């Protein structure tokens, strides 16, 4: 991990050369969820190739650029597309953008993803506020010699997702009258989807949804001291006794269809943050 500090500074310098603001939040937009960018008052966009040490996004539906601007009156940085372990990248590099958010001055992280639903009470298109997670990726972005400039050796994970922010998201969904759950996500490395036996196992150990991202970023956010809220879109149902082959096009279409709900939650969370900052003045 000792090489990360210099990499973070180099990435920040490249971004500040184009956008010299202090973001309130960093946002990571997952599969089919890039439409939120349309609501950002954009100052500058940077392709990941323009930022030192950022990786190239190869996942379907991930555009691969950093959008800097304002949303709900707050300066933000949004990743239009993320990186995944199944693309062959190490977790330290996958999570580097989260550290860049922190080094640029961000206070919070909003992260979204597309997931498979294993809780039989969920339906395709529902949103789940992540309350907790299980890491079954077989790796951890904090492995190695710890750099105390970036965070503590043994970060506490009793509340990786900010409970108060989750409450705000759930209340926003209730006011807009759409289904929004609070549950547990399990992360696996992928890229294959799970077998029926694996879905049974994942459900039995306490998870409501399964995905191939987010958990490494959240671990690093906790290490860096960022308040975090995680939002999952259920794009397919993974019920082992009624399982059918997944269709990537259908998954992306469902994610796109649920995007207005996600947009409501993200903008509402930022509006809540903006009002809180006004009250603090």
| Residues 6+ away with beta carbon under 8 Å from 130 | 161, 166, 183, 184, 185, 214, 218, 229, 230, 231, 232
pLDDT the model gives residue 8: 98
Task: Give 194-203 pLDDT, tens digit per residue.
Answer: 999 999 999 9
Q: Name the residue with tokens 């940085």.
A: 77
pLDDT the model gives residue 163: 97
pLDDT at 4 over 70: yes
Among 110, 11, 18, 22, smallest CA distance to 70 is for 22
**How many residues can be counted in the chain?**
281
Superfamily for the 4-280 domain: Nucleoside phosphorylase domain (3.40.50.1580)
Three-state DSSP class for residue 165: helix
pLDDT the model gives residue 278: 62
> Once rounded to an integer, what is the mean pLDDT over residues 15-19?
97
pLDDT the model gives residue 59: 61
Q: H or E segment at 262?
A: helix 248-280
pLDDT the model gives residue 246: 86
> Once rounded to an integer, what is the mean pLDDT over residues 127-134?
98
Domain ranges of the chain: 4-280
Task: Give 227-242 pLDDT, tens digit per residue.
Answer: 999 999 999 999 999 9
Task: Give 245-276 pLDDT, tens digit per residue.
Answer: 988 889 889 999 999 999 999 999 999 999 98
For 194-203, b/e burial (b = at least 16 CB within 10 A) is beeebbeebb
Count each helix (H run) and each strand (E run) in the chain, helices first.
7, 9
Confidence class for position 223, pLDDT limits 50, 70, 90:
very high
Among 89, 82, 86, smallest CA distance to 66 is for 82
> By the 8 A CB rule, do 206 and 119 touch?
no
pLDDT the model gives residue 177: 96
pLDDT the model gives residue 190: 94
Task: Give 155-172 pLDDT, tens digit per residue.
Answer: 999 999 999 999 999 999
> Once rounded to an integer, what is the mean pLDDT over residues 119-131?
97
Tell if the pTM clears 0.75, that is, is over it: yes
């Amino acid at each position: 991990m000792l090489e990360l500090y210099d990499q973070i500074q180099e990435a920040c310098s490249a971004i500040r050369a184009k956008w010299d603001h202090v973001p309130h939040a960093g946002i990571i937009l997952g599969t089919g969820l890039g439409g939120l960018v349309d609501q950002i008052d954009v100052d500058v966009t940077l392709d990941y190739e323009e930022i030192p040490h950022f990786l190239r996004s190869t996942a379907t539906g991930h555009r691969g650029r950093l959008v800097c601007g304002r949303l709900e009156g707050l300066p933000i940085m949004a990743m239009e597309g993320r990186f995944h372990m199944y693309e062959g990248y190490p977790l330290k590099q996958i999570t580097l953008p989260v550290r860049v958010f922190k080094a640029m001055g961000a206070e919070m992280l909003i992260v979204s993803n597309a997931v498979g639903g294993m809780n039989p009470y969920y339906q395709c298109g529902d949103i789940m506020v992540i309350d907790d997670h299980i890491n079954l990726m077989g790796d951890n972005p904090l492995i190695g010699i710890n750099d105390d400039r970036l965070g503590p050796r043994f970060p506490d994970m009793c509340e990786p997702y900010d409970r108060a922010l989750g409450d705000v998201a759930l209340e926003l969904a209730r006011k807009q009258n759409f289904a929004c759950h609070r549950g547990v996500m399990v992360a696996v490395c992928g890229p294959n989807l799970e077998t029926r036996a694996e879905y049974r196992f994942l459900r039995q150990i306490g998870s409501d949804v399964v995905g191939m991202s987010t958990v490494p970023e959240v671990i690093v956010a906790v290490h860096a001291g960022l308040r975090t809220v995680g939002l999952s879109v259920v794009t397919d149902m993974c019920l082992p006794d009624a399982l059918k082959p997944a269709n990537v096009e259908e998954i992306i279409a469902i994610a796109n269809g649920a995007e207005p709900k996600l947009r409501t939650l993200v903008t509402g969370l930022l509006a809540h943050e903006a009002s809180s900052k006004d009250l603090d003045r």
